Structure 1
Amino acid sequence: MKLHHQIFLAMLAGAGIGAITGEHSTLFGVSVLAGFDLVGSLFINALKMLVVPLIVTAIISGMVGVGGGDNLGRMGVKTVFFYMSTSLVAILIGLMLVNLLTPGIIDGEPARNLLGLSAETDNVLAKIEGRGAGDFTEILRQMLPPNLIAAAANGQMLGLIVFALLFGFYLRTEKGSAGETLRQMIDGIYQVMIRITMLIIRFTPIGVFALIAATVTRTGMDAIEPLAWFFLTVLLALFAHAFVFMPALILLLGKRSPIRHIQAMMPALLTAFSSASSAATLPLTMECVQDRAGVSRKTSSFVLPLGATVNMDGTALYECVAAIFIAQAYGMDLSFGMQFMIVVTALLTSIGVASIPAASLVAITVILAAIGLPAEAIGLILVTDRILDMCRTAVNIWGDSVVTVLLARSEGEEQVLSLPVNEMEARAAEAAREHHQAVN
């Protein structure tokens, strides 16, 4: 059974078991609720365990993937600029809508009671009282911590992210066998962390079951309303970014038809939606961009692999909305300084999110730690995560393809989106046959 089917069944089972279980129910003399909490805590702890090694190695590996000094020329600078700009706009769209719709506030009150947070809310708010009240000096201090190990232990990932960016930037240009060995070692650690992440993600149905069962046991079905508003807020933000802002870029900067580009990218977008993995979709994304949109192999082979690593528009948007939703549910006073911290952290962590299903859950724990909220709060959004993961992955792929088209047009590639899809595919097939004959 596919993972998303398992998660869906776990959601139903957790809600059903939680609905018939009371807070004082026991099984063989053991509290059922305590059992749910234990399993849910183990799953959350496993996600937290991944944060430091996965985020750091992913960012370093992504920076190294930019290539040597020759590759980080005009094209490299333009690519990074476009990717960071579109991600920032995505985050700001999410920030605007989550503040406008306030999904974490129901009938004028924080949704903490509906979501089963009332017992721990006072302790959480006491710890974060006064944080982010417009004091940007604390943010700057976290970006350059005096002790990286202490920063990691205290959940201050902002400094580690900045260090990883600097380390990866200079590692990519390091010459000789020492630099090559270190690059291979970092890549090896990253690949191992991906495998460990996939292992833990396989246990997501069990974690989802326990977390949802515990929430429903405490609150009944009252949690549905705030979660439905959160789900709607994310969908609206993703829609606005993907179908308003990005098409406007194609039309205004690319001087091409957005509808034509949607037609060209449809196979890749459907694959991204069903697989929820940017990495798994990358080969098809490159094929659609080259053979159906008319972007040269030279441009697409540089821009798209980099985008699959560092450009996560949908993921960055989702992280921002999720963090603010949880803060709203706790009744936290979101000052401008705190929201600025969320935007910066979401932008930087989106670079280090592995392009595999559900990996953004790891990044959200980083943002929650940055604003002083417990990682356990991520259990609130797991019920909606799978469907939203599919949506934001499709937006990630769409964003990569749009930036590739814009860069190709800026490099003078007039053939981009200039012919119907069927004619473009026919020309690509003819070119492939000619190349095959020439090789033979």
Structure 2
Amino acid sequence: MKLHHQIFIAMLAGALVGSLTSESTTLFGVPILAGYDLVGSLFINGLKMVVVPLIVTAIINGMTSVGDGNNLGRMGLKTVALYMTTTVVAVLIGLLTVNLFSPGVIDGQPARDLLGLASDTEAVLAGIEGRGAGDFTQILMQMLPPNLIAAAADGQMLGLIVFALLFGYFLRTERNDAGRSLRDLIEGIYQVVMKITMLVIRFTPLGVFALIAATVTRTGLDAIEPLAWFFASVVVALTLHAFVFMPALVFFLARRSPLRHIQAMTPALLTAFSSASSAATLPLTMECVQNRAGVSQRSSSFVLPLGATVNMDGTALYECVAAMFIAQAYGMDLSLATQFMIVITAVLTSIGVASIPAASLVAITVILAAIGLPAEAIGLILVTDRLLDMFRTAVNVWGDSVVTVVLARSEGEEQVLQRPVADAERMAQAASAHAGQGQTDK
């Protein structure tokens, strides 16, 4: 059975079992709520365990995959600049939407009681009080920690992300045997950590069951309303980014029809939505961009793999909205500095998010730690995560394709989106037939 089917069944089972039990229910003399909390905590601890090695090695590996030496070049700089711009805009759209909808506030009050947070809310708020959230200097100081090991132990991932970006960038310039060996070593570590992460994610259905069962046991079904508002906030924000901002880039910068580009990318977008993996969709994305949108292989083979590694517009937007929702539910003071911290961390962590289903759960724990909220709060959004994962993955792939088209046009590729998709398909078929005839003649 596919993982997302398991998660869906676990969600329903957790809600059903949670509705049939109460805080006083016992099994063989053991409080069943304590069992839910134990399993849920083990799952959250597994996610937290892989945060540091996964984010650091993913970012370094992503930076080194751009190419060896100083050959990033003009196109590379433009690509990175565009990817960073679209990601920042996506996060800002998410921030604006979540502030307008305020899904974590119901009837003017934080939704902590509805979501089962009331028991530990005071301790959480006391823990973050006096952290200097209103001081931008503290945020900037976290970007360059004096001790990386201490920063990792304290959950201050912002400094580790900055270090990983610098390390990966300069590792690219090392052309000697030592540099190649170090790149191979880091890639090997990344692959192993990915396998460990996938092992943890395989237990997601069990973690989802326990966390949802615990929440429903404590609150009943009152959590549906704030979660529905959270779901709506994410979908609206993703829609604005995908169908307003990104088409504007195609129209104004590439000077091509956004509708034609959507038509060209439809197969890849549907695959991304169903698989929730931009990495698995990459071959089809490249096929659509080259054969249906008319982008050259030179541009697409450079821009798209890089985008699948470092450009996660939908993921960054989702991380921002999720962190804001949890902060609102706790009743946290969302000062300008706190929101700035969320934006910066969402942008940076999105670079290190693996392009696999549910990987953003790891990144959200980083953002929660950055603003002083417990990672256990991620259990609140697990019930909606799988469906939203499908939406945001499609937005990730769409963003990669838009940047590729804009870059190709900036490099003087006039054939991009010039002909309707049907014409492009007929041309590809004709070329294939001609190639086959040529082989026969030979």
Pairwise same-fold verdict (TM > 0.5): yes
Report how far residue 434 of structure 1 moved: 5.6
Partner of 2:22: 22
Partner of 2:77: 77
Q: How far apart are the structure 1 equivalents of 2:430 and 2:365?
A: 49
Partner of 1:283: 283
Q: How far apart are the structure 2 equivalents of 1:132 and 1:71?
A: 41
Q: Is the 8 Å Cα contact of residues 131 and 338 (structure 1) preserved in structure 2?
A: no
Alignment of 1:298-309 (within 5 A): 298-309=298-309
Three-state SS of the structure 1 residue aligned to 2:417 is: coil
Three-state SS of the structure 2 residue aligned to 1:381 is: helix
Partner of 1:175: 175
Q: How far apart are the structure 1 equivalents of 2:439 and 2:140?
A: 58
Q: Is the 8 Å Cα contact of residues 145 and 159 (structure 1) preserved in structure 2?
A: yes
AA aligned opposite 1:77: L
Q: How far apart are the structure 2 equivalents of 1:341 and 1:435?
A: 55
Q: Is the 8 Å Cα contact of residues 103 and 226 (structure 1) preserved in structure 2?
A: yes
Report how far residue 134 of structure 1 moved: 2.8
Report how far residue 51 of structure 1 moved: 0.2
Partner of 2:144: 144
Partner of 1:31: 31
Alignment pair present for 1:249 and 2:220: no
Report how far residue 425 of structure 1 moved: 2.1
Alignment pair present for 1:222 and 2:222: yes
Three-state SS of the structure 2 residue aligned to 1:393 is: helix
Partner of 1:13: 13
Report how far residue 175 of structure 1 moved: 1.4
Q: How far apart are the structure 2 equivalents of 1:160 and 1:63?
A: 14
Alignment of 1:36-435 (within 5 A): 36-432=36-432
Q: Is the 8 Å Cα contact of residues 238 and 317 (structure 1) preserved in structure 2?
A: yes
Q: How far apart are the structure 2 equivalents of 1:133 and 1:140?
A: 11
Report how far residue 129 of structure 1 moved: 1.0
AA aligned opposite 2:381: I
Q: Is the 8 Å Cα contact of residues 132 and 336 (structure 1) preserved in structure 2?
A: no
Q: Is the 8 Å Cα contact of residues 69 and 175 (structure 2) preserved in structure 1?
A: no
Q: Is the 8 Å Cα contact of residues 104 and 325 (structure 1) preserved in structure 2?
A: yes
Q: How far apart are the structure 1 equivalents of 2:133 and 2:370?
A: 14
Q: How far apart are the structure 1 equivalents of 2:230 and 2:27?
A: 34
Q: How far apart are the structure 2 equivalents of 1:100 and 1:130?
A: 27
Report how far residue 4 of structure 1 moved: 1.0
CA shift digits 1:30-63 (9 cap, x unpaired):
1100000000000000000010000000000010
- TM-score normalised to structure 2 length: 0.98
Q: Is the 8 Å Cα contact of residues 111 and 330 (structure 2) preserved in structure 1?
A: yes
Report how far residue 432 of structure 1 moved: 4.8
- Structure 2 unaligned segments of length 5 or more: list them: none
Q: Is the 8 Å Cα contact of residues 64 and 168 (structure 1) preserved in structure 2?
A: yes
Report how far residue 429 of structure 1 moved: 3.8
CA shift digits 1:80-136 (9 cap, x unpaired):
000000000000000001011100000000000000000000000001113354311
Report how far residue 426 of structure 1 moved: 2.7
AA aligned opposite 1:346: A
Q: How far apart are the structure 2 equivalents of 1:433 and 1:69?
A: 41
AA aligned opposite 2:178: A
Report how far residue 438 of structure 1 moved: 7.1
Q: Aligned pair count? A: 440
Report how far residue 428 of structure 1 moved: 2.9
AA aligned opposite 1:123: A
Sequence identity percentage = 77
Quote the RMSD (CA, aligned, Å): 1.3
Three-state SS of the structure 1 residue aligned to 2:97 is: helix
AA aligned opposite 1:421: V
Q: Which structure 1 residue ranges, 4+ long, deviate > 6 Å from structure 2?
A: none
AA aligned opposite 2:104: G
Q: How far apart are the structure 2 equivalents of 1:140 and 1:57?
A: 23
Q: Is the 8 Å Cα contact of residues 353 and 360 (structure 2) preserved in structure 1?
A: yes
